[in-house]
């Protein structure tokens, strides 16, 4: 009621129109002969799961076959269904295990679906609502990793992996693998890239630590791999590649953290450790991702925030490498397989490319081709006339240089309305992307947007993440505040004109701007946030984040966690800027109690510029459909603009 006036209504309709426009980019993945896509628009707010062929997809108007209409399903069954994905049966892809969530929650219902008949399988696999999923072992068996029927860790995720045969009781199905309750989760994967199928089990000890077991084709006789826990591993096509977060002395050689090593899997299992170095990190050169495609390894790197890609081919005589050319060196660029199932890949790759003033494009990199070809491009959602993108660096509290990307008018006025955002956690890289919503309601009207690469992210590798982790989380927040100050120092704006937004871990960031740096901001939009760090590890998935923040039940760690627990740092009588704290009732990842308690405490202290918003659905996001997401965003931006005096 307070912010839902005419301006809000105009923005909501504009945002909804962008999210629902019929000519937006349909993202795809190949399953057998078909390209599958999940599509949302105004007529199908819950979405259509549909498919076409590659030849048809190349056309301006592809011929889509609807496999499942989620809106019709929700209406027919009287459920608040939203789509969370599907696992199709490898080889034939004629059956799928659908993941259906209520109101956008993380917890899902599993149901077997016939993709040929386009209907649910009578008497097929079905599991009640729980966090987790299932993967196919064979045509009539699933590997079930679900936090159901008591198989749950302290973080609320699956504690076991069961072999669930068709027609059997899932609760009575044999447990092939289990982890301790204080582990984060148990997981499983099936490698079909060789003649003999291999089952891999994962004990995610913590968010950044894992133990791996290799089992036979039926998931039996698992044997643990001799590896440290702080590793990322990908073993396919008879090769194994490993990246450790910390320095590793192996095979008589010491490698710095984030080095990627590779060798034949059979040799590794026999005890050899003569790895080949595939990637070495640099001060601002990091490996963001690596994955196999048709027996070749794709490396996705950032070189001082510029995306770089290489394709490596393994052999016993040495690994050859070649650059992947034809992709831009700025913005958000990703390269991955076209095929869902690795064993069915012929080497075709997809690249998605975008930048703050360039809407996303989808490019096909066919196997053996020298350069990519454009498949589809999203239309422009806002006018870019007069806008430029520039990169800058601010100096944080400890002297570290913190990069940020600024999009807006070329000329500075000293009074620009600035929208500033960051994430800064869990090694997530926050690269400059095309944001049609901010573009429409902020940039097109003459505003400026800023995306920050604060510590805690993964832009420069593990060291950058670790610097903003545990006690260093305060430094991550200092980085953000330093960027706000740098925008003023450079003559872009003044503090009262800076509007900041952040969600989840970024919501913790925004809450700390309120309590630690209130003088640097004009208004704050704090969404789906963590704020009570004393109890976070006891709420929903919170225990899994101890690896990022620390354990508040340990007095020595609580001593520094408390310094950025915004709920505890909020005190009365301060000149706090206006803040809108928003969550959703169906958020089963970050408990909505965080946002409720923070708003209640601030209001009880007498702050009259504290507002709270909690729609019924949405999960850990801004809504369960495009209309709800548009309303959530429009409300936030209406609030921010009003409070910085830009209406």
**C-beta neighbour count of 27 within 10 angstroms:** 15
More confident residue, 368 or 436: 436
Asked if residue 331 has pLDDT above 90, the reply is yes
Read off the pLDDT of each residue in 260-269 and give the average, rounded to a whole number: 98
CA–CA separation, 458 and 287 (whole Å)? 9
Asked if residue 470 has pLDDT above 90, the reply is yes
Based on the residue annotation, tell me whether 620 is a catalytic residue of this protein.
yes
Read off the pLDDT of each residue in 265-279 and give the average, rounded to a whole number: 98
Residues 628, 634 contacting (CB under 8 angstroms): no
Q: Of the candidates 7, 12, 38, 11, which has an alpha carbon nearest to the alpha carbon of residue 24?
A: 38
Residues 410 and 353 in one domain: no
- The pLDDT of residue 481: 99
Residues 496 and 428 in one domain: yes
Residues 488 and 542 in one domain: yes
Read off the pLDDT of each residue in 249-256 and give the average, rounded to a whole number: 97
Read off the pLDDT of each residue in 139-151 and give the average, rounded to a whole number: 96
Tokens of 616: 């019924």
CA–CA separation, 183 and 624 (whole Å)? 30
> Which pLDDT band holds residue 586 (cuts at 50, 70, 90)?
very high
3-state SS, 343-387, equals HHCCCCEEEEEEECCEEEEEEEECCCCCCCEEEEECCCCCCCCCE
Read off the pLDDT of each residue in 306-311 and give the average, rounded to a whole number: 97
Asked if residue 647 has pLDDT above 90, the reply is no
Read off the pLDDT of each residue in 324-340 and give the average, rounded to a whole number: 95
Out of 350, 376, 402, a domain closes at 376
Residues 420 and 348 in one domain: no
Alpha helices in 239-334 (DSSP H): 265-269
- The pLDDT of residue 370: 86
Residues 327 and 418 in one domain: no
Between CA 486 and CA 493, with CA 488 as vertex, the angle to 5 degrees is 130
> Which pLDDT band holds residue 87 (cuts at 50, 70, 90)?
very high
Out of 351, 376, 401, a domain closes at 376
User: Catalytic: which of 504, 544, 565, 633?
Assistant: 504
CA-CA-CA-CA torsion for 373, 377, 383, 386, nearest 10 degrees?
Answer: -20
In a domain, 254, yes or no: no
Q: How many domains does the chain have?
A: 2
Residues 469 and 320 in one domain: no
In a domain, 137, yes or no: no
Based on the residue annotation, tell me whether 504 is a catalytic residue of this protein.
yes
Residues 141, 111 contacting (CB under 8 angstroms): no
Residues 422 and 522 in one domain: yes
Please report which helix (H) or strand (E) contains residue 141, including its range.
strand 141-146
User: Catalytic: which of 93, 419, 465, 620?
Assistant: 620
In a domain, 321, yes or no: yes
In a domain, 244, yes or no: no
In a domain, 217, yes or no: no
With a pLDDT cut of 90, the percent of the chain lying above it is 98
Asked if residue 365 has pLDDT above 90, the reply is yes
Out of 324, 355, 376, a domain closes at 376
Structural domain that includes position 454: 387-643
- The pLDDT of residue 282: 96
Alpha helices in 526-625 (DSSP H): 546-549, 555-561, 566-569, 593-604
Residues 479 and 439 in one domain: yes
Length of the chain: 647
Give Cα 523 distance to the centre of its chain. 26
Query: Residues 6 or more apart from 57 whose CB is under 8 A from it?
Result: 26, 28, 35, 375, 376
Read off the pLDDT of each residue in 530-541 and give the average, rounded to a whole number: 98
- The pLDDT of residue 323: 96
β pairing state of 418-421 and 448-452: parallel
- The pLDDT of residue 506: 98
In a domain, 309, yes or no: yes
> Which pLDDT band holds residue 2 (cuts at 50, 70, 90)?
very high
Residues 407 and 487 in one domain: yes
Read off the pLDDT of each residue in 451-466 and give the average, rounded to a whole number: 98
Residues 537, 546 contacting (CB under 8 angstroms): yes
Looking up residue 421, the CATH number of its domain turns out to be 3.40.50.1820
Residues 358 and 432 in one domain: no
CA–CA separation, 69 and 46 (whole Å)? 8
With a pLDDT cut of 70, the percent of the chain lying above it is 100
- In sequence order, what E strands does 231-357 have? 231-236, 239-244, 248-250, 253-255, 260-264, 276-279, 285-293, 296-303, 306-313, 320-323, 332-337, 349-355
Q: Of the candidates 408, 398, 432, 384, which has an alpha carbon nearest to the alpha carbon of residue 491?
A: 408
For all residues of the chain together, what is the average pLDDT? Answer: 97
Tokens of 148: 């159901």
pLDDT tens, position by position, 414-425: 999 999 999 999
Residues 521 and 586 in one domain: yes
CA–CA separation, 582 and 442 (whole Å)? 20
How buried is residue 295: exposed, middle or buried, by Cβ count under 10 Å (0-12/13-18/19+)? middle
Read off the pLDDT of each residue in 587-595 and give the average, rounded to a whole number: 97
- The pLDDT of residue 14: 97
Residues 462 and 340 in one domain: no
In a domain, 97, yes or no: no
Please report which helix (H) or strand (E) contains residue 624, including its range.
none
CA–CA separation, 383 and 408 (whole Å)? 11
pLDDT tens, position by position, 21-73: 999 999 999 999 999 999 999 999 999 999 999 999 999 999 999 999 999 99
Q: Which residues, in sequence order, are bridge partners of residue 286?
A: 302
In a domain, 583, yes or no: yes
């Amino acid at each position: 009621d307070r912010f839902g006036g005419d301006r809000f209504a105009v923005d909501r309709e504009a945002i909804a129109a962008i999210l629902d426009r019929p000519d937006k980019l349909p993202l795809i993945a190949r399953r057998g002969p078909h390209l599958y896509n999940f599509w949302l628009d105004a007529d199908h707010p819950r979405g259509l799961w549909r498919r076409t062929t590659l030849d048809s997809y190349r056309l301006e108007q592809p011929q889509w076959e609807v496999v499942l209409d989620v809106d019709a399903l929700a209406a027919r069954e009287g459920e608040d269904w939203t789509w969370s994905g599907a696992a199709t049966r490898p080889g034939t892809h004629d059956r799928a295990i659908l993941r259906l969530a209520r109101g956008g929650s993380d917890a899902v219902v599993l149901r077997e679906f016939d993709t040929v008949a386009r209907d649910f399988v009578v008497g097929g696999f079905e599991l009640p609502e729980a966090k987790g999923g299932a993967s196919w072992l064979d045509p009539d068996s699933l590997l079930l990793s679900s936090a159901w029927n008591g198989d749950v860790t302290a973080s609320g995720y699956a504690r076991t992996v069961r072999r669930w045969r068709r027609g059997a009781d899932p609760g009575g199905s044999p447990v092939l693998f289990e982890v301790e309750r204080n582990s984060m989760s148990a997981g499983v994967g099936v490698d079909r890239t060789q003649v003999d199928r291999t089952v891999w089990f994962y004990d995610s000890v913590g968010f950044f630590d894992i133990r791996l077991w290799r089992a036979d084709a039926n998931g039996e006789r698992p044997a643990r791999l001799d590896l440290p826990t702080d590793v990322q591993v990908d073993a396919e096509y008879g090769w194994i590649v490993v990246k450790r977060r910390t320095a590793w002395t192996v095979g008589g050689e010491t490698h710095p953290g984030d080095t990627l090593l590779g060798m034949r899997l059979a040799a590794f299992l026999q005890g050899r450790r003569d790895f080949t170095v595939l990637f070495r990190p640099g001060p601002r050169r990091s490996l963001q991702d690596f994955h196999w495609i048709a027996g070749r390894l794709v490396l996705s790197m950032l070189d001082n925030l510029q995306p770089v890609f290489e394709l490596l081919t393994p052999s016993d005589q040495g690994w050859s490498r070649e650059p992947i050319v034809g992709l831009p060196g700025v913005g958000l660029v990703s390269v991955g397989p076209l095929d869902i199932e690795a064993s069915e890949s012929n080497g075709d790759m997809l690249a998605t490319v975008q930048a703050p003033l360039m809407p996303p494009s989808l490019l096909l990199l066919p196997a053996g081709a020298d350069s990519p070809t454009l498949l589809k491009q999203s239309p422009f959602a806002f006018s870019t006339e007069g806008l430029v993108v520039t990169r800058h660096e601010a100096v944080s509290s400890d002297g570290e240089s913190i990069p940020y990307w600024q999009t807006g008018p070329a000329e500075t006025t000293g009074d620009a309305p600035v929208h500033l955002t960051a994430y800064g956690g869990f090694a997530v890289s926050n690269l400059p992307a095309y944001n049609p919503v901010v573009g429409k309601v902020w940039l097109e009207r003459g505003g400026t947007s800023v995306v920050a690469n604060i510590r805690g992210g993964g832009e420069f590798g593990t060291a950058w993440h670790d610097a903003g982790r545990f006690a260093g989380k305060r430094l991550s927040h200092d980085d953000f505040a330093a960027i706000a100050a740098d925008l003023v120092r450079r003559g872009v704006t003044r503090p009262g004109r800076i509007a900041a937004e952040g969600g989840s871990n970024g919501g913790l960031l925004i809450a700390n701007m309120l309590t630690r740096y209130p003088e640097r901001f004009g208004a704050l939009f704090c969404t789906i946030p963590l704020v009570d760090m004393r109890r976070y590890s006891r709420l929903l998935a919170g225990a899994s984040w101890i690896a990022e923040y620390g354990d508040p039940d340990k007095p020595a760690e609580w001593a520094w966690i408390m310094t950025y627990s915004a709920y505890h740092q909020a005190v009365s009588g301060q000149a706090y800027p206006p803040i809108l704290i928003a969550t959703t009732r169906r958020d089963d990842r970050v408990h909505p109690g965080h946002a409720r308690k923070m708003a209640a405490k601030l209001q009880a202290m007498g702050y009259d510029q504290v507002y709270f918003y909690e729609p019924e659905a949405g999960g850990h996001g801004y809504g369960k459909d495009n209309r709800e997401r548009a309303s959530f965003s429009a409300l936030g931006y209406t609030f921010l603009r009003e409070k910085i005096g830009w209406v």
